[in-house]
């Protein structure tokens, strides 16, 4: 006899249907209800240790923990009976016996489940008069995490994450009874590459970020922007938290945004803590032109005139075969599409490439571990390949272009968001090749070794300032939104390309990012079935583009 696939039960008088094997807690959460809980997490094994999620089941003499009790046909559940309310009140009273009342100075204040549950379900005052047990405070347990043992409620989420998700098992529970405490195993440090996730998992302020500590309260954050991490090809979904500070809006922290098709609930430490470059005061904030051996700031109009005039002269004297374009896979699909349209379709340049690292070749991008990190540290290599940012007939790739520059066959090179000198110096003398060009245009965030050799330098935007889309390693198109204003006098690359095309009297797609996407989807078969609306905040997979690995 086959087991029933759907179970029917009644929750607080309302009929519900859920798949067999679902726990009571999951059934209630799916239906949009609430059962307070601490130790349960949808991506961790169930231990049922906090006892906060107790509910009453008709016919069962004792309350049951809903996270570890599967539903049964005909089960009637009460999530807010007097017995349940009394039990929750008691659990919270026990948790608060030794918990310090330091909410005003705790980083979790304002977004703390213990704080919220105490207000809604807990006792109005404590009956405890004995001195609280004092434990270690603000102890660094890794490069990114601070531990305050006094606040810990022993939910063991962090222990289970390190044991079952990363497989590194740095943390454990030590001691017995009211002396039990989370701690590191001897000789260990919490530095597993995903350690920052324990900060999100902790339902109190026991594990906090060394980077974010004492920087802000949740109500200080003016915007929480849904976006995409731009530091590798995984395309993890993130939330960018921004606050007004003395210098204007600044990113204070990055958190994972749940997307079970991409990164689930997690992000790596590079994606979480590696955002500070976007706010580095050393970034290029204005166009630069080389005069008398020095790079000097100029206006955008003068910059565009210089590039347009030099390109027109080289095209006239030497032809399109003397010009090359290297466009980084850090560019969005929309930026890459306009580069292809302007330089490939309009100017007839066949020397166009995005490949700088071997990991960007088809089959070169592989998992770095069993979780999220990839060997391809570019967010849009698959998108560049789908858009055809590759050498045309008789066209040259990145390395061939540099060889051609050395031999005098390439007169001009436009480099977008790539430091060729740093990336390729182990293979050959890239700097010597670049010095022989008549025109080197570099578009980047910083004055890199390549930018220092340029005749024209264009300031670029980080992925935290861009509007557009990336296509991740699995061929999933995802949208990123700007969390910061453009640095200095930087303008979007899309706008620069449109202005350059206008100056050269060449037709090029005009309009904002969405308009460019619509033209891209109409022109590129791989994206033909994807609309800007269908991408949404979770992304949409391409049907015709193979994954990178």
Instruction: Kindly report the CATH number assigned to the domain that includes residue 24.
Output: 3.10.20.740
DSSP string, 37-82: -SS--TTS-----S-TTEEEETT-SS-EEGGG-B--TT-EEESS-H
Which of 217, 151, 159, 164 has the alpha carbon at shortest distance from 188?
A: 159
375 CB-side CA count, 13 A: 14
Cβ proximity of 539 and 477 under 8 Å: yes
Q: What is the CATH number of the domain that holds 489?
A: 3.40.50.740
pLDDT at 1: 39
Same domain, 391 and 480: yes
Specify if 375 maps to a domain.
yes
Residue 198 CA to residue 132 CA, distance in Å, equals 26
Cβ proximity of 477 and 461 under 8 Å: no
Same domain, 257 and 337: no
| b (16+ CB within 10 A) / e for 66-81 | bbbbebeeebebbbee
Same domain, 294 and 387: yes
Tell me how far CA of residue 508 lies from CA of 34, 291, 332, 498, in angstroms.
53, 30, 17, 6
The residue from 255, 279, 303 where one domain ends is: 279
Same domain, 373 and 345: yes
Same domain, 379 and 401: yes
Same domain, 309 and 415: yes
Specify if 547 maps to a domain.
no
Same domain, 195 and 254: no
Task: For tokens 């905040």, name the residue.
Answer: 537
Specify if 154 maps to a domain.
yes
Residue 214 backbone zone (phi > 0: left; psi -120 to 50: alpha; other: beta): left
Q: What is the CATH number of the domain that holds 135?
A: 3.30.70.20
Specify if 217 maps to a domain.
no
For residue 386, report the phi and psi dihedrals to the nearest 5 degrees.
Answer: -65, -30
Q: Which residues does residue 240 pair with via DSSP β-bridges, in sequence order? A: 225, 254
Specify if 373 maps to a domain.
yes
Same domain, 123 and 195: yes
Specify if 1 maps to a domain.
no
Same domain, 262 and 409: no
Specify if 45 maps to a domain.
yes
Residue 456 CA to residue 458 CA, distance in Å, equals 7
Tell me how far CA of residue 90 lies from CA of 85, 120, 504, in angstroms.
9, 13, 75
pLDDT at 125: 79
Specify if 549 maps to a domain.
no
The residue from 232, 259, 279 where one domain ends is: 279
Q: What is the CATH number of the domain that holds 252?
A: 2.20.25.90
Task: Give pLDDT tens digits along the chain (549 positions).
Answer: 355 688 899 999 899 899 998 999 999 999 888 999 999 999 999 999 999 999 999 999 999 999 999 999 989 999 999 999 999 999 999 999 888 888 889 999 999 999 999 999 988 777 877 888 788 889 999 999 999 999 999 999 999 999 999 999 999 999 888 788 999 999 999 999 999 999 999 999 999 999 999 998 888 898 999 999 999 999 999 999 999 877 788 999 999 999 999 999 999 999 999 999 999 999 999 999 999 889 999 999 999 999 999 999 999 999 999 999 999 999 999 999 999 999 999 999 999 999 999 899 888 899 999 999 999 999 999 999 999 999 988 899 999 999 999 999 999 999 999 999 999 877 778 899 999 999 999 999 999 999 999 999 999 999 999 999 999 999 999 999 999 999 999 999 999 999 999 999 998 888 899 999 999 999 999 998 899 889 999 999 987 655 554
Cβ proximity of 398 and 324 under 8 Å: no
pLDDT at 4: 65
Same domain, 343 and 400: yes
Same domain, 460 and 334: yes
Residue 383 CA to residue 473 CA, distance in Å, equals 9
pLDDT at 373: 95
Q: Could you tell me which residues come within 8 angstroms of residue 460 by beta carbon, excluding any fewer than 6 positions away?
A: 284, 416, 417, 443, 444, 445, 490, 493
The residue from 258, 279, 300 where one domain ends is: 279
What's the number of domains the chain is made of?
A: 4
Q: Would you call 519 exposed, middle or buried from its count of C-beta atoms within 10 A (0-12, 13-18, 19+)? A: middle
DSSP-derived secondary structure letter, 511: S
Query: What's this model's pTM, rounded to 2 decimal places?
Result: 0.91
Same domain, 90 and 107: no
Domain assignment of residue 69, given as a range: 6-95
Q: Would you call 159 exposed, middle or buried from its count of C-beta atoms within 10 A (0-12, 13-18, 19+)? A: buried
Tell me how far CA of residue 331 lies from CA of 269, 525, 541, in angstroms.
22, 20, 19
């Amino acid at each position: 006899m086959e087991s029933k696939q759907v179970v029917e039960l009644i929750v607080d008088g309302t009929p519900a249907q859920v798949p067999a094997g679902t726990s009571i807690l999951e059934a209630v959460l799916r239906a949009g209800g609430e059962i307070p809980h601490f130790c349960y997490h949808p991506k961790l094994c169930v231990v049922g240790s906090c006892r906060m999620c107790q509910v009453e089941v008709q016919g069962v003499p004792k309350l049951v923990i809903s996270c570890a009790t599967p539903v049964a046909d005909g089960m009637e559940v009460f999530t807010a009976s007097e017995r349940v309310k009394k039990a929750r009140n008691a659990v919270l009273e026990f948790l608060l016996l030794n918990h310090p009342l330091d909410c005003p100075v705790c980083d979790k204040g304002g977004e703390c489940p213990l704080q919220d549950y105490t207000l809604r379900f807990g006792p109005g005052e404590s009956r405890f008069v004995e001195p609280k047990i004092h434990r270690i405070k603000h102890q660094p347990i890794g490069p990114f995490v601070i531990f305050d043992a006094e606040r810990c409620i022993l939910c063991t989420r962090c222990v289970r994450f390190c044991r079952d998700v990363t497989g590194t098992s740095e943390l454990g529970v030590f001691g017995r009874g009211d002396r039990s405490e989370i701690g590191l195993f001897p000789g260990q440090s919490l530095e597993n590459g995903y350690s920052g996730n324990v900060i999100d998992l902790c339902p109190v302020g026991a594990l906090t970020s060394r980077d974010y500590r004492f920087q802000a309260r949740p109500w200080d954050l003016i915007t929480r922007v849904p976006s995409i991490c731009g530091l590798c090809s995984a395309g993890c979904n993130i939330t960018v938290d921004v606050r007004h500070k003395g210098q204007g809006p600044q990113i204070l922290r990055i958190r994972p945004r749940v997307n079970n098709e991409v990164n689930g609930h997690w992000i790596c430490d590079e994606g979480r803590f590696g955002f500070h470059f976007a706010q580095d005061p050393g970034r290029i904030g204005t166009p630069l032109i080389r005069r008398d051996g020095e790079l000097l700031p100029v206006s955008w109009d003068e910059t565009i005139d210089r590039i347009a005039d030099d390109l027109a002269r080289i095209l006239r004297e030497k032809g399109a075969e003397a010009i090359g374009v290297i466009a980084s896979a850090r560019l969005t699909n929309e930026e890459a599409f306009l580069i292809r349209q302007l330089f490939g379709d309009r100017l007839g340049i066949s020397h166009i490439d995005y490949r700088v690292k071997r990991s960007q070749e088809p089959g070169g991008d592989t998992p770095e571990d069993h979780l999220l990190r990839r060997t391809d540290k570019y967010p849009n290599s698959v998108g560049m390949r789908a858009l055809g940012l590759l050498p045309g007939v008789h066209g040259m790739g990145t390395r061939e272009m540099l060889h051609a520059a050395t031999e005098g066959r390439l007169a001009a090179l436009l480099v977008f968001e790539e430091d060729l000198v740093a990336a390729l110096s182990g293979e050959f003398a890239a700097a010597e090749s670049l010095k022989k060009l008549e025109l080197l245009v570099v578009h980047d965030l910083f004055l890199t070794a390549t930018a220092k050799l340029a005749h024209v330098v264009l300031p670029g935007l980080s992925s935290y300032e861009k509007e557009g889309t990336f296509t991740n390693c699995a061929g999933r198109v995802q949208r990123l939104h700007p969390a910061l204003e453009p640095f200095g006098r930087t303008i979007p690359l899309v706008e620069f390309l449109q202005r350059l095309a206008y100056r050269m009297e060449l037709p090029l797609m005009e309009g904002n990012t969405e308009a460019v996407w619509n033209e891209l989807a109409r022109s590129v078969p791989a994206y033909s079935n994807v609309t800007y609306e269908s991408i949404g905040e979770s992304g949409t997979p391409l049907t015709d583009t193979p994954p990178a690995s």
